[in-house]
Structure 1
Amino acid sequence: MRVALAMVAVLIASLAFHFASPWRATPIASNWGFIDDTMALTFWITGAGFVAVVLFMAYCLYRSRHQPGRRAAYEPEKRKLEAWLSIITTVAVVVLLAPGLTVWGQYIEAPAGAMEVEAVGMQWNWSFRLPGDDNKLGATDIRFVDSGNPLGLNPADRNGKDDLIVTNGELHLPVGKPVKVLLRSIDVLHDFYVPQIRAKMDLVPGIVSSLWFTPTKIGEFDILCAAFCGLGHPQMRGKMIVDTDSDYARWREAQQTFEQSRKTDADRGRRESNP
């Protein structure tokens, strides 16, 4: 009896903590409201299952408590009960999985015409690359990575000469336009995550993964690494700044292209060798 009451008390405390908790998702700033809806549906279904199972267990403990003279009756199986449990479980699993699979299908297929941006993770900072006037990103290869070419662009690829290189961890994007983010890692496993965007994806060395979203709110948002990537993992933060079209255009004009950065590095090297 006391165990049954304790289980009910734990259930009530758990529900009270959930509804009174101050920890909630950050306000969404992208088109992925469907992800929030799917998570809410998951909480309601699993929460209902949690309540039903705990109450049923408490009832069984109370109903089958020891009483003088009572003897247990052996019932090896109940086909009707088993059938209903199988049906209910199947329906619950389908309801849980179907919305998630639908969201995933949308999540991995960027719309035609989405602007491509590359995010590169390395211990322990974020760098970015945007296409230049030709609207094409140049080829990359890990063999070209060095202090003057941290993103590993192929110097022989003409498509990459006008690529915009951003190494200060600050990415600007225009509001209201779909963006496909190509993800690369230079060293270990990282994970690109912006809580307000609801989008996250692993950066696996040797593989180019991707995600897409449409920024819907102007503002500044933290870019986090959601995979433990070493001692400096907590400090691996960047900034995603969503601008108006005019502010975004001004920011682009202030960025260096890959060709310009190579010339700057060459000039600096000459000055250092000939003081």
Structure 2
Amino acid sequence: MKLVIALIVLVLGSLLFHVLSPWWFTPLASNWDTVDTTIDITLYITGVVFVAVNLFMAYAVYRYRHRPAQKAHYEPENKRLETWLTAITAVGVAAMLAPGLVVWADFTQVPEGADEIEVLGEQWQWSYRFPGEDGKLGEVATRYVAPDNPFGMSPGDPAGADDILVRSNELHLPVDRPVKMLLRSKDVLHDFAVPQFRVKMDMLPGSVTYAWFTPTRTGSFDVLCMELCGIAHYAMRGRVIVDTEEDFKAWLGGQTTWAEQRARPAADPAAGERQYATCVACHGPEGRGNLQMNAPAIAGMEAWYLERQLRYYRQGVRGAHEGDTFGAQMAAMAGTIASDSALRNLAAYVASLPAADSEPTLDGDPRRGAGHFNTCGACHGARGQGNHALQAPRLAGQQDWYLKRQLKYFREGIRGAHQADNYGHQMTMMARTLQNEQSIDDLLSYVNTL
């Protein structure tokens, strides 16, 4: 009887959980309501089978329970029963598969006139490319990928000159216009998914897959990677902002084209040296930092990383949180940089300064810290040397007191919480894997050995 009761409770509990559960589909925001219908059909068919099978098991256990005076009847075959079970199973499987095949047929047929947008996935971020005025996307290839050409744009293809490049996890789309997403991966398997749109598709290195949908309401929707793509897979997130036509055109007009990016003059370290006179008071003439001024070492840091942080300070992405008093000072100084070219010149000069090892200030256990660094090394490199492909700066040689403060800021949401800080979001999640202050000291004591 205990087993019979357990089976009945399992069925009733499952039905109650289905009816009362707050976890269900996110509200639909695209044309793919047929996906919901297909899932509903599958759920109800399997639900009926689940209830029927478990209740039959409960009945059979009770009806044919052991009794001393009753002898079991041996019947190895029953063709009539087997025929009925095979037929019912075939009908149930067909009822589940047929709607999916119909939806898939629609999913592969992109409507004429749909906008084409390329989605580029890489560990652990999203980027997007729109065709320019010619309506065509230019050629891309892996062999062209470089720090100044992350999309791999072909320099010899004139069709790509007006392509609009969005190096951000935030994608804007107009409402009520069908869009075909051309999906491309730069490194490993990814999967582009927007739950509210009921759309997901694998992204394969060396291939271009696609998916299409029509956004049906304005708003902000999550972009997720639904393929295990590495240690920070869960941090590979983005947003789709569905705008009105006017708002979308205004946003798209503010993005830069491939031709505009190529036309930027090379950074001039000599001009940057003159601008560095403002930075000397805190960071020192050789950029080695000053603990008394709470100014970290910046000499030898990657120019691309310095550029990004200076832009973040100017835009309020960094230094705007009330808990970041030192960041607020830096934001004020970054605001004095007159232009983007001046910012790049300054970053180029600082990057040209020779880096120097810093003096340890923490008393941690490097051996325990080496275990923590396994996670950090996936992005920052096994020797803390940094990795531009993953947008991870160099850690080796940086002062431990500064790194400790930044980890604290990430853990407490003082840094990395701003909506536009795509890489900070990832660091926030990674920093919170450190259990306590001692684990941070151990980690940074190991970094000091690199």
Q: TM-score normalised by the shorter chain: which range applies?
A: over 0.9
CA drift of 1:231 comes to: 2.0
Give me the whole-angstrom Cα distance separating, in 2, the residues matched to 1:39 and 1:177: 25
Say which SS state the counterpart of residue 196 (structure 1) adopts.
helix
Say which SS state the counterpart of residue 46 (structure 1) adopts.
helix
Give me the whole-angstrom Cα distance separating, in 1, the residues matched to 2:254 and 2:269: 26
CA drift of 1:5 comes to: 1.7
After superposing on structure 2, the runs of 4+ consecutive aligned residues of structure 1 that deviate more than 4 Å are none
Paired AA for residue 16 in structure 2: A
Give me the whole-angstrom Cα distance separating, in 1, the residues matched to 2:137 and 2:163: 6
CA drift of 1:73 comes to: 1.2
Query: Is 1:51 matched with 2:35?
Result: no
Which residue pairs with 2:241 in the alignment? 241
Paired AA for residue 253 in structure 2: E
Paired AA for residue 223 in structure 1: V
CA drift of 1:270 comes to: 4.0
CA spacing shift, 1:273–1:64, aligned 2, 3 Å: farther
CA drift of 1:274 comes to: 5.9
Give me the whole-angstrom Cα distance separating, in 2, the residues matched to 1:197 and 1:137: 24
32-41 or 70-79, which deviates more: 70-79
Which residue pairs with 1:60 in the alignment? 60
Which residue pairs with 1:254 in the alignment? 254
Query: Is 1:228 matched with 2:225?
Result: no
Query: Is 1:168 matched with 2:168?
Result: yes
Say which SS state the counterpart of residue 3 (structure 2) adopts.
helix
Aligned-pair identity in percent equals 50
CA drift of 1:20 comes to: 1.2
Instruction: Please report the RMSD computed on the Cα atoms of aligned residues, expressed in angstroms.
Output: 1.1
Which residue pairs with 1:148 in the alignment? 148
Which residue pairs with 1:192 in the alignment? 192
Which residue pairs with 1:263 in the alignment? 263
CA drift of 1:273 comes to: 6.4
Give me the whole-angstrom Cα distance separating, in 1, the residues matched to 2:242 and 2:177: 10
CA drift of 1:2 comes to: 2.1
Say which SS state the counterpart of residue 227 (structure 1) adopts.
coil
Which residue pairs with 2:214 in the alignment? 214
Paired AA for residue 31 in structure 1: N
Count residues with an aligned counterpart.
272
Give me the whole-angstrom Cα distance separating, in 2, the residues matched to 1:49 and 1:253: 54
Which of these two proteins has the greater Rg computed from alpha carbons? 2
* Bigger relative contact order, structure 1 or 2 (CA pairs below 8 A, ≥6 apart): 1
More helix by share: 2
CA drift of 1:97 comes to: 0.1
CA spacing shift, 1:273–1:237, aligned 2, 3 Å: farther
136-145 or 255-264, which deviates more: 255-264
Give me the whole-angstrom Cα distance separating, in 1, the residues matched to 2:105 and 2:214: 16
1:64-213 aligned at under 5 Å gives the runs 64-213=64-213
CA drift of 1:271 comes to: 2.0
Give me the whole-angstrom Cα distance separating, in 1, the residues matched to 2:202 and 2:44: 28
Using the size of structure 1 for normalisation, the TM-score is 0.96
CA drift of 1:46 comes to: 0.1
Give me the whole-angstrom Cα distance separating, in 1, the residues matched to 2:234 and 2:109: 31
CA deviations 1:207-230 (Å, max 9, x no partner) are 100000000001111111111211
CA drift of 1:250 comes to: 0.9
Say which SS state the counterpart of residue 93 (structure 2) adopts.
helix
Give me the whole-angstrom Cα distance separating, in 2, the residues matched to 1:16 and 1:273: 71
Which ranges of structure 2 fall in alignment gaps of 5 or more residues?
273-450
